[in-house]
Amino acid sequence: MCNIRMIVKPFYSTKKIIALLGISLLSLTNLVTAQNNTSSPYSYYGLGELSQSGSGNSISMGGTSLAYRNGGVLNIQNPAALAHIDSLKFIFNVGMAAKYTNLNQGDESDSFNDYNLTRLAFGFKVSSRYSTAFSVSPYSNLGYEITKREKVIGSETYLNRALKGSGGLNQLIWSNGVKVTKNLSLGINGIYLFGNNTRDEIITLESGSSYVYDNKTKLNSQGLYFNLGAQYQLNFGKYNFTLAAKYQPKLAVSAEQVIQVTNYSSGVGAVRYEDTDEGSFDVPESYGLGFGINRGKHLWIGGDYLHEKWSDTKVFNKDNNLRDRDKFSLGIEYKANDGYARKFFKKMTYRLGGFYDTGYITVEDEEIGAMGVSLGLGIPMAKNTGMINVALEFGFSGTTNNNMVREDFTRITVDINLFERWFVKRKYH
């Protein structure tokens, strides 16, 4: 006779821990040093283009996430969901995205391809009620290059003005979820924001002049803030109804602004000026509400609403002329696998969603928002060792009104969840 005992033994595989931490550090280095993950001209405004750093499940459903919970998913958007991850799994998650954008302005068009690492995370259950996770992801990106030809006031001479931006901000997040009661879960994200935004303005005169003006501004940032999450579930027979909420207070993040100005003329040479200013910029107060409906283990439908008060934020004590942002999303997930499926397509998870985002900037009295639809697949790996989530998004942002730019984009996201049963050791007798 064979008796099997299962003994909980935390962090059983030390070599695998070291290996995954090594991968994490290498990926973190790549995220920080090689960040120029957008080609949008609208990243010129505010803190740049705000990043989409949700899980592959969420991205496939239009970004819907607040009420979503799954034993094999690290839902950082609402840390309260972490309380429900599988107690026997150490989860390692990495996400990558490729974005194709077509820019249209009047009769002209151009296209760009951007590739980036969207998220790196790992998490596990510490006790029956408490779970934790660590992640790193982009917060915002700069990647614009704008050229203008202008006439010098009071002269017949023309000048060329080139505006360039690169870099961005990253966030290192420590997430914690606690199951308070059978129905109520609470969570908190502690976030370290860091990185730099570099903006360069170069002016050259036409008509053979050697004059060049170069104004480079670099914003170096590092600071802490946090947000809170909650989920409450109600059971009605075959249906589970989940209500979710998220809140983030307005907080100032420390920053250093370095300004370098260079004037060059062939007769005078280069004259340089540099100034450094210590200050801060605000992350906005925000709140979100969401709902989710489960029917058994196969069907999930949910929706989110997010509001961010950017109009109330400042950069170095100056108003930034931004506006409040609202985002709406809806999503649906269907798990075809009943636990006994043998055919490949019956083992997969299917997702569909859509979103509308008002954005947080206004250009020439036009609100620069975005909307789109998404779909995706969850492909299980052999022997329940992980899940590959593939998301495909189609959408647009901006407008062609007032000779502005409309961006039509297609984005493919590949999100990989690896499961390691480090918490179980089997003994046979």
Q: Please return the burial class of 340, using the count of CB atoms within 10 Å of its CB with bins 0-12, 13-18 and 19+.
A: exposed
The C-alpha atoms of residue 7 and residue 127 are separated, in whole angstroms, by 15
Token readout for 348 is 């997969």
Please choose, from the candidates 102, 71, 73, the residue with its C-alpha nearest in 3D space to the C-alpha of residue 87: 71
Distances (CA, A) of 428 to 5, 89, 420: 7, 21, 21
pLDDT at position 9, please?
41
Residues 171 and 193 sit within 8 Å (Cβ to Cβ): yes
As a whole-number percent, the residues of the chain with pLDDT over 90 amount to 60
Q: Which pairs from 277-280 meet CB under 8 Å and 24+ separation?
A: 277/316, 278/254, 279/255, 279/315, 279/316, 279/317, 280/223, 280/252, 280/253, 280/254, 280/255, 280/316
Query: Which of these ranges, 10-19, 115-124, 157-166, has the smallest mean pLDDT?
Result: 10-19
Helix (H) / strand (E) containing 265: strand 251-265
Half-sphere exposure of 213 (CA within 13 A, CB side): 10
Please choose, from the candidates 206, 195, 23, 193, the residue with its C-alpha nearest in 3D space to the C-alpha of residue 122: 23
Task: Check: pTM over 0.75? Answer yes or no.
Answer: yes
The DSSP secondary structure of 184-212, one letter per residue, reads EEEEEEEEEEEEEEEEEEEEEESTT---E
Q: Name the phi and psi angles at 66, rounded to 5.
A: -60, -35
The C-alpha atoms of residue 138 and residue 273 are separated, in whole angstroms, by 32
Q: What is the mean pLDDT of residues 240-264?
A: 93
Token readout for 121 is 């995370």
Residues 100 and 94 sit within 8 Å (Cβ to Cβ): no
Q: What confidence tens digit (pLDDT) does each residue in 265-285 have? A: 766 667 788 899 999 999 999
Domain ranges of the chain: 4-428
Q: What confidence tens digit (pLDDT) does each residue in 5-46 have? A: 333 344 445 455 555 555 555 555 555 444 457 889 999 999
Residues 56 and 389 sit within 8 Å (Cβ to Cβ): yes
pLDDT at position 22, please?
55
| Domain 4-428: homologous superfamily in CATH | Outer membrane protein transport protein (OMPP1/FadL/TodX) (2.40.160.60)
Q: What confidence tens digit (pLDDT) does each residue in 131-150 have? A: 999 999 999 999 999 888 88
What SS3 class is residue 345?
Answer: helix
Measured from the Cβ of residue 199, the count of other Cβ atoms closer than 10 Å reads: 19
Query: Which of these ranges, 227-241, 259-273, 395-409, has the smallest mean pLDDT?
Result: 259-273
pLDDT at position 10, please?
41
The C-alpha atoms of residue 77 and residue 291 are separated, in whole angstroms, by 14
Token readout for 31 is 């995220």
What SS3 class is residue 90?
Answer: strand
